[in-house]
Amino acid sequence: MATVERTLVLLKPDAVARGLIGRVVQRFEDAGLKVVGTKMVQMDAELAKKHYFDLEERFGKEVFDLTANFMQMGPVIALVLEGVDAVANVRRLVGATFPNESAPGTIRGDFAHVSKAYSQSNKIVAANLVHASGKPDEAKYEIDLWFDSAELFDYQTVAEKYTF
């Protein structure tokens, strides 16, 4: 059953440094998603550990360290987006984790190109511009980690008349 839900999106330091904030946010808004929370944050080691709490267990210490260091290179833009099946729709708009595997028309497919093979052989993070929650329960955890309830807003857009 389709439901209105919220999800977390992080515009990573590479997206911020490349000046892609507006273009990326526009993709989400063009798809009928609503921004209900936003802020710029400099991720520190403690926040990286909480956000990527299972990364080391799943992929090893080296992957965790590379990812945490990358995310601390510069500010990130944290967004909470709301919409019908927001988690799945945001993931569809973002594209595959590795930009070279992302379809044209997705954020990663249009704005990034680093491959898994290149990032692994050079021991770097595949700069893929965006983090998006993978599942609704993950979205809830991440939203609660990044935002206080007072930082999230309920309001109605004109577009909701036609999309919700």
* Domain spans of the chain, in order of start: 4-156
Alpha carbons 109 and 157: distance in angstroms, whole number: 29
The per-residue pLDDT for range 134-145, each reduced to its tens digit, is 999 999 999 999
To the question of pTM greater than 0.85 for the whole model, the response is: yes
Question: Which residues, 6 or more positions from 101, have their beta carbon under 8 angstroms from its beta carbon?
Answer: 95, 115, 116
* Whole-number percent of the chain with pLDDT over 70: 99
Alpha carbons 54 and 141: distance in angstroms, whole number: 13
The per-residue pLDDT for range 57-109, each reduced to its tens digit, is 999 999 999 999 999 999 999 999 999 999 999 999 999 999 999 999 999 99
**Helix H or strand E segment including 93:** helix 86-94
Both tokens assigned to 114: 């680093």
CATH second-level architecture of 4-156? 2-Layer Sandwich (3.30)
Give the active site residues.
131
Residue 11 main-chain phi, psi, to 5 deg: -85, 110
Residue 155 is given by DSSP the state -
Question: How many other C-beta atoms are found inside a 10 Å radius of the C-beta of residue 48?
Answer: 19
Alpha carbons 67 and 146: distance in angstroms, whole number: 17
Residue 119 main-chain phi, psi, to 5 deg: -65, -40
Alpha carbons 67 and 112: distance in angstroms, whole number: 17
Q: Give me the half-sphere count of Cα atoms (radius 13 Å) on the Cβ side of residue 95.
A: 21
